[in-house]
Structure 1
């Protein structure tokens, strides 16, 4: 392995000398000769010598170019008189792109010169098949077969170079012909070297690598003087040569580095010629070839090394520097603030970083062993470190480290979801002997998240601009905590290394966030407070996670409420409104725990009364304190969320207490379903209440949650009406009313539902009027239903499904209607509400209709007289009260 390493280093040094030194000397010599010739001509003609600017400019072509890859040359523009010396040597264009005009030019050129293209392909195939000719006929020894192919390749290159020197390559009748011949020669040389190694075993891997480097150097040198046809043919042929030659190799890994060098060749040529599409072709050919090798079983280790080298070349070579200096707009700034699209080198680097990150994840997911997974994660870690530390002077690449960091988080999550090898090896540690050390996978992953956050925080101090600093701070506040959350959700390290030790890991990450917050607090300004809020919020989330690992269900819910209160206190003390997002997240988790996990079933059936009080009354009191602390932020989104959470938890607490008082969930029937529906309806109304604040995305999310929770509540109410209706037995099951009169299961089943709808109609003033009227209608309907059932219970007892209606029950309904109408009239008087007055008179009309259509049929004698006398007096009193109310409402209010 040491010898292989030395050979690779020597080969790369030779290639660097050829790429940088030889082309520079040749071009400098050519420019010097052109300047001397121009001076001699002017001096011989007796004219004034040309300026340095005019000498450096290339003469305009006399014949228009017809090739598809020739760069358009604008007419020379004289520099302004006041221009300084720096204007005499303009920098090469940066915004070079592959556009539709060049593609159209390529199509036109192929239509006119298709014979030349076919000739190039035929010559290239001739060189490749010459290598295989001896195999089929056995005429030459392997050595002379390879030598013949090398001779043919050299002859083709020599012929192309001879034509180029005499007639040129990009103009005239021979345009493209030298590139075709030389490109075919390069392909033949590649094929000969690969055949010498793969087919005949004449040379070892080291000599193969050196020979390939030599051919690549020849291609680079030729690419300086030829048009892009040669580069395109050379890249395509060199990429296809390993598959066209055939045979087998005992060291297939060497071809990964062959493709990496080929990528360097294409990028290096295009870095000076600025064709753009050659860079894309180089990367496409090499990535495709290396991927085919990997799919063919050439190994994952060197495949990852190929991606590391190819990505490094894609970032550095187009800029022709050892450190990235990509200027212009980045993709994130383009999305958030607009402006120009990122320049071509930036887009090239972005694409390769994204592809290499995806490749590392795919290799890790496809791996059957733990070592390959760690190597893939190592590649992602190396990319993060290199991009964070190496792109500080390249503002256009500021968002690239996010891609490998996100890829690492995605892989860790998928590994846990799919029960991959690394996850299985780690989980197997749960069955280890006590004296056996715990597996370190979770610890290493947590360390990786902490290092990533540290690198992002370090880069935040170097970055220029407010937006860039905020983005880096956000990345630092998310990378490590996100890793901790993913591990807890899908790896559950506490089951393997112990809850206490895992909680220490999380607390250590929280300590890192606190340290970041303390460092950020030393700065001044609004941006510094924003950074402090981000890091403090991350620390609070991690502390909550550690409590989640260590505490019981009731204690955890109480701890989350404590964290919300602490967040409100920090916000009030240090003016960090961004922490409101953390408080809202904590409130969402509290609601999730009270409703789903451990949820209502735990609170009703399994938890002790003290745990129920601790997990419900405790958060209720703490959130009330937080609401009071946040009084200076009245109307703020977080305070609205806290207020709605107080109502939500109070309703859930009351529902749980009622269910525990009435009995187990299965024995409650209509009461149980009604109380369960109440919880979901309160959840839906809470989300509707929070629509007062938040942006468009949050509004869509909250409406979605409200619809979902409301749908669950509606299903429970429908089941209550059909399966547990006290009036109608369902199949053989009869529903009995339990508890004392008035305060019985009927009250638990229907009054909370009516109360929820009534509160929604009253408090949700920001909703459309029609929806609020619908809520009021539902509230009235459930209240009336409860009243009717309670009256029947008073006359019929626990079984409401008995047939028939007694006279006393019938009269009770009439009295109830009159009483309700009177109450509505009084409310109309107090609130000066025309709507309530009309509802009261509608109740009176309904009472009259009931008496004449229903009650009169069962009355006779003095009972009938007394009944109608009482009804008449009551109606007369209500009519008089209605007139007084109408006159009072007509008067102007004081």
Structure 2
């Protein structure tokens, strides 16, 4: 049987199967419409209803009727309710969805698939030659285009496309566009009728024509044209050279932006930007010519900045120039794309072109923020982009060379300094000019300008020092920091002078920002000139100075600068918590840890106190400063413990019992202090910081003291005498601290926290007592593999009973149920040991003494409970 006949039969069967339901739906709709028309026709034939004529006016005046009050509502009657507003329109019914939407979408898809299947069938059957197939494809596309235009003129004319229903003319025209794309591609890729350049031009022209037609048919057609135009280089190829798509894609994106701006189609502009960004990343991954990719990046970034930042904010007066979130998001997104492309196109040879592109991608968002005040967020975005570029700057070394900080040097240091200076100037100068010339700017906009102008040179200087000086003493960078301090001092003087003439919040903010930059520059210069060990002390000192200036000049926005500096320090710690090099002095306490961790912790702690707002809850800047003060303070204490116990070697692979014990004790001490300052009105950092240190102490005690450094498991020697030794230091002191924390936390922390702290204290105390007993009998080494004598075995029972009695006394004295329950557990454990183990393990008088002592303790405990804990109430006298 012929395949064509079989295909025709299948289609006929499908049509017959679908015709019944479709005909039923159509008949029902037509029936309801016919009934409505019949009712309207019957009403017209009956004529209008007779209307009574109004009575003639009577000339005699009538007395006014006395006002009668409305009758009072009866009991239980429901008062009349004023009619509500018009009901909200109900959603479309199934019939409306089926008839107005689904059929249209399915019809458009059927048209496109029908054209594809027709071409495929003709190819499989060999009905027509290649030339005739291509001609038929163009004819079908032309027919569909003509049909779409005819339907548009007949159905809606010049009216815009409907917003509720799918537009039938647009769907038909979209099918025509798809047919043209498919035909042109087939003419090039399948049959070779046209070469790459004519196919490229044809596909591009089709995509642009679709966007032009979208002016009549709506944004969906523009999206289809944009998609086809962006896919054209992938369909045709560029012959191995990236320049054809690099020159072509900005034209497509610009057209999409122009149509979007003309018609207000924001989604089309976002789609164009997303396509341009995707092409930037794809070219960076595939192309070998980095220069072409970087040119494409800069052009596309400039177009996006123009359409999303400059044009929406151009001409807005200063007093109304609030930050545009859309512009900020677009500029930030393109900053991320720029860093990704630059990272993927790092040159193997000279970096001149790469450096030029780097300066350009920094200058674009800065220029947008200067030209359009609502896009001032582009200045901080440019500062972050510059920081990322300096991090990504090509290295000179190989993996075999020793790693200096984070990099193996920097290629072409002079060019790095020149690029960093040019890029920093392209941000700082526009920011300062916008701030000095815009005294009426809103606070947030002025803050963005001040942040860009003040932070960019400092970030560039700090990162350039890291890349070139590798943390060593650098007089040249110290001189540069002094020059920056002088420049910032001059800008602060200009802001003060202009603010005295025309007072404004923006100029006061500029004064505070530049004054803080002076402090930060001096701190950087001090680090560069003296130690060069770490930037953390300089940033912490700058945060303290900024907080003092914020309080002195009453500039609330500078408090957020403290938070920003804290965020940089936090990022530095997250990247590499080791703020000291390998050449750390072995002197306990007085070593490089003081300047690397202790001094910054003190600075952030003082900064949190300086920027505190009396009578108000702690806000984000204060919490950031508090968190960093606690974090750096904790690291300082823990590292000092490790430094002192390992001879200055922080990277020692082993640990010890005193280290684990002192670390647990330090964690409990931090938690205890924070609990003392905690309360309902305290900062969340104080509350959660105390909780975090307690959790750390719990983990340290359970893992470190329970398993890792437990001398019972490691058989490591226990130093010290019978009373003062490592066991007392590592177990009994933390146990006392945990019990003290439980007492201090009552009424302040949740019940589970109090119980956990008490449980940790009892567990460490129990383990410490057992180890102390074993140390007293065994000596330095108390491993499990060593024999246990009868006297030692008896001593455990006595120690457990003594600890249980102490817990009972504490529970009765302080009214602690937890302590009394712990006492019951210890006494029960001792009882089980005596009956199950001592009876068989002990001999002679020790066995008898064990039972005698246990019995006396149990009877005494019973009397205590009867008399003190559960004593019956006194009977009233008769």
**TM bucket, shorter chain:** 0.5 to 0.7
Q: Distance in 2 between matches of 1:513 and 1:775?
A: 52
Counterpart contact for 1:561–1:619, Cα < 8 Å: yes
What SS is found at the alignment partner of 1:495?
Answer: coil
Counterpart contact for 1:844–1:875, Cα < 8 Å: no
1:538, distance to aligned residue in structure 2 (A): 6.2
Q: Which residue of the partner structure matches residue 606 of structure 1?
A: 586
Q: Distance in 1 between matches of 2:345 and 2:812?
A: 73
Change beyond 3 A, Cα 1:876–1:643: farther
* 1:675 and 2:662 are equivalent in the alignment: yes
Find 2:341's aligned residue among 347, 350, 362: 362
1:441, distance to aligned residue in structure 2 (A): 0.7
Q: Which residue of the partner structure matches residue 361 of structure 2?
A: 380
Find 2:772's aligned residue among 767, 779, 790: 790
Find 2:446's aligned residue among 469, 476, 480: 469
Counterpart contact for 2:338–2:361, Cα < 8 Å: no
Counterpart contact for 1:513–1:535, Cα < 8 Å: yes
Q: Which has the higher relative contact order, 1 or 2, with Cα contacts under 8 A spaced 6 or more apart?
A: 1
What SS is found at the alignment partner of 1:439?
Answer: helix
What SS is found at the alignment partner of 2:470?
Answer: helix
Deviations 1:772-804 (A, max 9, x none): 211112112223433443344445543445533
Find 1:499's aligned residue among 469, 474, 478: 474
* 1:715 and 2:703 are equivalent in the alignment: yes
Counterpart contact for 1:510–1:540, Cα < 8 Å: yes
Change beyond 3 A, Cα 1:117–1:606: same
Q: CA RMSD in A?
A: 7.3
Q: Which residue of the partner structure matches residue 825 of structure 1?
A: 809
Deviations 1:92-132 (A, max 9, x none): xxxxxxxxx999999588469869999xx9xxxxxxxxxx9
Q: Which runs of 5+ in 1 are unaligned?
A: 1-100, 122-131, 134-152, 154-158, 190-197, 203-208, 336-341
Q: Which residue of the partner structure matches residue 64 of structure 1?
A: none
Deviations 1:43-80 (A, max 9, x none): xxxxxxxxxxxxxxxxxxxxxxxxxxxxxxxxxxxxxx
Q: Which runs of 5+ in 2 are unaligned?
A: 1-98, 120-129, 132-137, 158-168, 185-193
Deviations 1:822-880 (A, max 9, x none): 69637854xx5354884697499569949975889666499969x96999699879968
Q: Which residue of the partner structure matches residue 314 of structure 2?
A: 324
1:807, distance to aligned residue in structure 2 (A): 4.5
Change beyond 3 A, Cα 1:163–1:448: same
Find 1:409's aligned residue among 355, 377, 387: 387
Find 1:448's aligned residue among 423, 428, 437: 423
1:750, distance to aligned residue in structure 2 (A): 1.8
Counterpart contact for 1:449–1:480, Cα < 8 Å: yes
1:493, distance to aligned residue in structure 2 (A): 2.3
Q: Which residue of the partner structure matches residue 390 of structure 1?
A: 371
Structure 1 segment 606-685 matched on structure 2, within 5 A: 606-607=586-587, 610-611=590-591, 636=618, 648=634, 652=638, 655=641, 659=645, 669-678=656-665
Change beyond 3 A, Cα 1:682–1:610: same
Q: Which residue of the partner structure matches residue 736 of structure 1?
A: 717
Q: Which residue of the partner structure matches residue 753 of structure 2?
A: 771
Q: Which residue of the partner structure matches residue 59 of structure 2?
A: none
Normalised by the size of structure 1, how large is the TM-score?
0.56
Structure 1 segment 149-164 matched on structure 2, within 5 A: none
Q: Which residue of the partner structure matches residue 73 of structure 1?
A: none
Change beyond 3 A, Cα 1:788–1:103: same
Q: Distance in 2 between matches of 1:557 and 1:375?
A: 31
Q: Distance in 2 between matches of 1:851 and 1:631?
A: 57
1:377, distance to aligned residue in structure 2 (A): 0.8
Change beyond 3 A, Cα 1:544–1:848: same
Q: Distance in 2 between matches of 1:851 and 1:740?
A: 28
Normalised by the size of structure 2, how large is the TM-score?
0.57
Change beyond 3 A, Cα 1:229–1:372: same
1:391, distance to aligned residue in structure 2 (A): 1.4
Change beyond 3 A, Cα 1:184–1:384: same
1:409, distance to aligned residue in structure 2 (A): 3.4
Counterpart contact for 1:270–1:318, Cα < 8 Å: no
Structure 1 segment 674-713 matched on structure 2, within 5 A: 674-678=661-665, 711=699
How many residues align? The count is 712
Change beyond 3 A, Cα 1:105–1:275: farther
